[in-house]
Amino acid sequence: MPESTAFDSLIRGDLVLPGGVLRDGYLALAGERIAAIGAGAAAPVKGEAHDFSGRFVLAGAVDGHVHCGSDVGWDGLEGMTRAALTGGTTTAVDMPYDVPETVHSADLFRRKVEKVRALAHMDIALYGTIRKEGGLDAIPELAEAGCAAFKVSTYENSPTRFPRIAHADMRTAFRLIAETGLAVSVHNEDQELVDALIRRFRAEGKTGPEWHEPSRPPLSEWLANAEVFEIAAEAGARVHIAHSATARGFDQAAAYRAQGVRATAETCVQYLVFSNEDMVRIGAKAKVNPPIRPEPERERLWERLKAGLIAFVSTDHAPWRSEKKRAPAIFDNLSGARGIETLMLAFYSEGVAGRGLPIEAMSYYLSEAPARHFGLYPRKGALKVGSDADIVVLDPTPFVFDEAAIPDTVRSSLYHGRRFAGRIAATFVRGRKAFDGERVLVEKGFGRFVRPVSAAA
């Protein structure tokens, strides 16, 4: 082959492809894309040949549920994307619940895109949302501006940053979103039930961490799921539960799908790794909404995943500064925890090493399925010829995770001190080595805004 047609670089290792693992395979890269996939002797390369023999080579994770602007605003993109690379996540879809304002207009959306271009270390797609009242006109213009999905909530944390959308507006919003072809993710908790239980527990002096889960019981999820699936049934929208912490949430979605409703649900990795017993031990640091459920639920979630009922697995990454997690009463602490840097290793350790799930199934739930959901596939989420060369090398050698190593301003992690069954040896973004197992090698501004190429799931 003449020099001019040689590939730019080569990555060798055990390739995790949809049909299984190709041992001693190679990916040949040209520019930012994957140009050839094979095994054995490869064509000549002009640049570096990376030998990762004996290690897994996978598509980078696509984290479909990230909040990095809820505490410090859009500047949170910088640390979040740097930390993501250390965990093998190469694309994230960032939520619109930012301070001081949600992303509820095309103008705000374009300003956030500029922030992505200035601060991100890896690629970012964005959600849009609507204001609590009077904001429905924003839906078509947000879709036009390139948002990957919409997000709304049945539960109100704040009338401005995280509002509840009333039924009449939810109904109209779902009709307008259905016309865009995009999905709408819903935060699924019932306001009336949760608020009443929190009031009762406070009055009874029940404010320890053990009262968080009972204050937001599974029923609060199931009521909200049924409500939004019914509205979707009428509106024809693609409605997606932003996080089901219970197995029954997936059964609800499947029942509605059987009736022709476009209903799906995701879970977050913390619901697959931790139990409420862990949450009570860890305290406010592990306070997330919906809550992590008591122990039997975790295995039921793995059963639903193995049955193919879970759309994909995300993190709900929300890095609150520690002063927002120090209140004596559990109800006065903010909800959310970081997790983008541990998504792949936590799933690998629990699912692949711990429960014998095929590693290609992990790649499906962390990369391909979320990329498809947001219309980013096959540019993202795939080891395919023509896809972006977003590649992760996973070394199946155990290591103990230390939160002090997280390259972000907030380093508090639920996984601190946890032994993972593997470690990330390298992360490539669009062909460039962005993490070498120790250091992040790209600067802020390397990351790009990505918009959906197709709206079909």
- Residue 12 CB, shortest distance to Zn ion, in Å, is 38
CA distance 211 to 213: 6
Considering only CA atoms, which of 103, 102, 104 is closest in space to residue 134?
104
Chain positions 259 to 288 lying near Zn ion, rule: CB under 5 A, are: none
- Residue 314 CB, shortest distance to Zn ion, in Å, is 8
Q: Identify which of residues 314 and 427 has a Cβ nearer to Zn ion in the complex.
A: 314
Q: Identify which of residues 264 and 427 has a Cβ nearer to Zn ion in the complex.
A: 264
Q: Identify which of residues 164 and 448 has a Cβ nearer to Zn ion in the complex.
A: 164
Q: Identify which of residues 201 and 312 has a Cβ nearer to Zn ion in the complex.
A: 312
Q: Identify which of residues 316 and 350 has a Cβ nearer to Zn ion in the complex.
A: 316
Select the span of 315-323, 326-334, 410-418, 424-432 touching Zn ion (CB under 5 A).
315-323
* Number of shown-chain residues binding Zn ion (CB under 5 A): 1
Would you state the structure tokens that stand for residue 72, as one six-digit string? 């410090």
Q: Identify which of residues 78 and 316 has a Cβ nearer to Zn ion in the complex.
A: 316
Examine residue 189 and tell whether it contacts Zn ion (CB under 5 A).
no
Select the span of 133-141, 311-319, 337-345, 438-446 touching Zn ion (CB under 5 A).
311-319
CA distance 184 to 175: 11
- Residue 168 CB, shortest distance to Zn ion, in Å, is 24
**Helix, coil or strand: residue 453:** coil
CB-based contact 186:150 (threshold 8 Å)? no
Select the span of 128-136, 166-174, 253-261, 313-321 touching Zn ion (CB under 5 A).
313-321
Select the span of 8-16, 19-27, 309-317, 382-390 touching Zn ion (CB under 5 A).
309-317
- Residue 152 CB, shortest distance to Zn ion, in Å, is 12
CB-based contact 151:129 (threshold 8 Å)? yes
Considering only CA atoms, which of 186, 69, 61, 187 is closest in space to residue 126?
69
Q: Identify which of residues 17 and 245 has a Cβ nearer to Zn ion in the complex.
A: 245
- Residue 316 CB, shortest distance to Zn ion, in Å, is 4
Q: Identify which of residues 169 and 316 has a Cβ nearer to Zn ion in the complex.
A: 316
Select the span of 130-138, 266-274, 316-324, 409-417 touching Zn ion (CB under 5 A).
316-324
- Residue 95 CB, shortest distance to Zn ion, in Å, is 6
CA distance 193 to 423: 42
410-443 b/e (C-beta count within 10 Å ≥ 16 → b): bbbbbbbebebbbbbbbbbbbbebbbeeeebbbe
Query: What residue number has its CB nearest to Zn ion?
Result: 316
CA distance 334 to 399: 30
* Ordered alpha helix ranges (H), 289-358: 296-306, 343-347, 354-355
- Residue 373 CB, shortest distance to Zn ion, in Å, is 15
Residue 78 phi/psi, 5° resolution?
-65, -55
- Residue 170 CB, shortest distance to Zn ion, in Å, is 18
Q: Identify which of residues 155 and 365 has a Cβ nearer to Zn ion in the complex.
A: 155
CA distance 336 to 320: 7
- Residue 222 CB, shortest distance to Zn ion, in Å, is 18
CA distance 340 to 67: 10
CA distance 15 to 263: 32
Using CB under 5 A, pick the residue from 78, 316, 350, 403 that binds Zn ion. Answer: 316
In the chain the first and final C-alpha atoms are separated, in Å, by 40
Residues contributing to the site for Zn ion (CB under 5 A): 316
